[in-house]
Amino acid sequence: MSRNPAFFRLDGTSSSLLVANHKEWPAIAWFGELLDTNIDDHMLAHHDDTAHSFGTLDAAPPLSLFPQSATGFMGSPALIGHRQTASQAVCFALKSIEHTGHTINIVLEDHISALQLNVCLSLDPTSDVACIATSLLNNGSDDFYVDWLASATLPLPNHLTQCITQHGRWGLENQSHTRTIGPGRIDISNQHGRTGHEHTPNVICASDDLSIDHGDALFVHLGWSGNYSFRIEQLNNSVAYLQTGVLLNPGEEVVTPGGSLHCPKVYFTKGDGLNQCTQRFHRFARQNVLPLWTRKTRPVHANSWEAMYFDLNDNDLKLLVDAAAKIGAERFILDDGWFINRRDDTAGLGDWTVDETVFPNRLKPLVEHVRSHNMQFGLWFEPEMVNPDSNLYRDHPDWVLHFTDRDTPLGRGQLVLDVARKDVSEYLFNCISALVTEYQIDYIKWDMNRDLVLAGDGINYKASKQPPAVYALMQKLNNAHPDLEIESCASGGARCDFGVLAQTGRVWASDNIDPLARTTIQQGFLRFFPPEIMGAHVGHQHAHLTGRHTNLHTRAIVALQGQYGFELDARVLDEQDIATLQHYTDLYKKHRAWLNDATYWQLPTNNTLLMANGLVAESKEQALFSVVLLDSLSESRPGCQRLRGLDPSLHYRVQLASSNLEQLAPFNKILPEWCTETIVTSGALLSSIGLSLPVMPPQSALLLHCSVEKNLS
């Protein structure tokens, strides 16, 4: 490499990232499929976009890594800010650029504004996921007020004409929505103070021919659990870009002299089709983000919430533990309602003391009973919240996020604690840590049931201080209790991103466990996050959130797509239901060792009412595929289902793994052979032709297992 190359290059397994070393403003010149190693600077220079039209500025402003208005860039500048003493026309220029291993470090400087910008680009060599980390340093003698600081600005090739985002609401998260990228700006701004039900910090920009298996796709994720903005814009000179960062309230971020502001990281990959990009994100998360304990086999959960809600007592809980153990649960979680004055959701939050009017001997008898079944014990907390009707709020009303003389709207009867305050964080750590120590708690279900509104310290906004303060509190607990596992639950899936997942390793994807609703919710969740961290439970026949009735097989098959567990009252199950659940629980336990690193495949189907996916072992020697029928098909039969991820050169034993043949059989004059007996066929045929599906009644599901046949003559 020359001493001053025109391009710096990062290579992964099948991707290359090129940074053009322009004299003043470095730019991403290429990110995509792996480039030939013989390409040199001279060749690349021929492909620079230098055309320039009349009717514009004399020099074409570049789409740099950090675009600026002062250069003539007419899109969203990467930095908007000022000092109190003067307005700032910020204009950074290159100070240094260094390439070390899989990282490019760039330093930009503006002497007049007394600001320095550090941009670190990296490309993970095994997953092909790239990362940008940006930080701003104030080298001046007075404060610099930041209104907008982009974590990253990524160029969008002209053929990426679709923008796919994930939206929803409580109980229906992660629903895909597609827009056309054209003139003007698509602005997806989240102001909920958490990752949010309404939007997720994920965007896919793709070509018109995008499918599960083919078409150019750029996956982008912001690792941040607070307010954010995604801006996708096509300028009138055909330049298009995606920009993302923390969405700030006025005066929220002030960089003091000598201080710095670190942006949340942006993760991205560009591949062929949805599955390839999804699998890269899963691989990256497993190797670089998630806690080490997620690599262990995941226990079967049983949660008390939908079984008992707030109606708790020792005797009934022990019976629930007995019933959960009978169907194979390995971890019992006591949900909301265990602490003082918590008989409903209007009081008690913040007072993390066991209610001895409900538990006369505190939690010791219950925990001992759980341990007698060789089960782990978990406990529900909502540390960031407080009810006005609580001892904590009466003693410390100033501990909540608020603005003086303004009434803060309640959410679920609660307010939000200012966790960035040292005294608040210490109080929460001491309360939680004491209980973890007293009962040797294995697992915390960490809930967050409301958005942030008027998130201030009385005078100034500080919503952007909340996520890192929560991360730090979680990390402090993890350090004090190395065996403790924490789940991220925010009234379902409203806090899921790589920021919080560095401290947590399980996500309650939705409060909705209706299996038909969960099918689309989980497909959206799994687009960026691996299945073994997705809490997926078998609920009641009558779904509490939707009112829909579904059969037990469908509920269990959908739950097997993630970390399997129960959210039902196992005390009222009949013997047939117990046997059915034992079957699926045994399936999960039998396969979970390889499921923990399985490759997820969304499967192409012949009808939008059919949803199918597969989990394939890293060795490709085993796989579980599920098919769910949401409603009646207009055709008389569903046709063949093609599988994905198997080795085309190997032969597989294929059998129906779900125990619902008796439910499916009455709808079929002739059942496909593989439904009634094990067959052996090739991976190539399973991929190209597929398996004939049986006729399925509406709202049914099936599960099939493939394993390598090693005894062929």
Catalytic residue (one of 447, 451, 497, 514): 447
Of residues 21 and 696, more confidence is placed in 696
- For the stretch 158-192, pLDDT in tens is 999 999 999 999 999 999 999 999 998 999 999 99
Question: pLDDT per residue over 69-117, tens digit each?
Answer: 878 788 899 999 999 877 678 889 999 999 999 999 999 999 999 999 9
* Token pair of 596 as six digits: 């923990």
What average pLDDT does this structure show over 369-377?
A: 98
Beta carbons within 8 Å of 574's beta carbon, 6+ residues apart = none
Q: What is the pLDDT of residue 5?
A: 79
Residue 668: pLDDT over 60 = yes
Domains of the chain, CATH where assigned = 7-284 (2.70.98.60), 510-594 (no CATH), 601-708 (2.60.40.1180)
CA angle 555, 279, 229 (to 5 degrees): 90
Distance CA 564, CA 538 (A): 8
Nearest to 195, CA basis, from 493, 486, 522:
493
The mean predicted confidence, pLDDT, of the chain is 94
447 is catalytic: yes
| pLDDT at position 1 | 41
pLDDT of 285 above 70: yes
Whether 637 shows a pLDDT value over 70: the answer reads yes
pLDDT of res. 37? 80
SS3 content of the chain, % helix, strand, coil (to 5): 25, 35, 45
Residue 313, strand partner residues:
none
pLDDT at 47: 56
Provide the pLDDT for residue 89: 81
Q: Which of 89-93, 220-224, 232-236 has the lowest mean pLDDT?
A: 89-93
Q: Tell me the mean pLDDT in the region 42-70.
A: 71
Strands 115-123, 253-255: pairing is unpaired
pLDDT score for 382: 98
Q: pLDDT tens digits, residue range 300-345?
A: 999 999 999 999 999 999 999 999 999 999 999 999 999 999 999 9
pLDDT of 52 > 80? The answer is no
| pLDDT score at 21 | 85
d(CA 712, CA 694): 27
Q: Cα separation of 679 and 705, whole Å?
A: 11
Mean pLDDT of 602-615: 96
385-403 average pLDDT score: 98
What per-residue confidence (pLDDT) applies to 58? 64
Report the pLDDT averaged over residues 650-661.
97
* For residue 579, pLDDT beyond 60: yes
The residue type of 213 is D
In percent, how much of the chain has pLDDT > 70?
96
**pLDDT over threshold 80, residue 55:** no
**What gap in Å lies between CA 370 and CA 376, rounded to an integer?**
7
- Residue among 110, 124, 418, 511 flagged as catalytic: 511
Q: Does residue 2 have a pLDDT over 70?
A: no
Q: What's the pTM?
A: 0.96
Burial 146-176 (b: 16+ CB within 10 A, else e): bebbbbbbbbbeeebbbbbbbbbebbbbbee
Instruction: Report the pLDDT value the prediction gives residue 710, as an integer from 0 to 100.
Output: 84
Q: Band of the pLDDT at 713, cuts 50, 70, 90? A: low
Is 707 a residue whose pLDDT tops 80? yes
pLDDT at 237 over 90: no
Write down the H helix ranges in 289-363: 305-308, 314-326
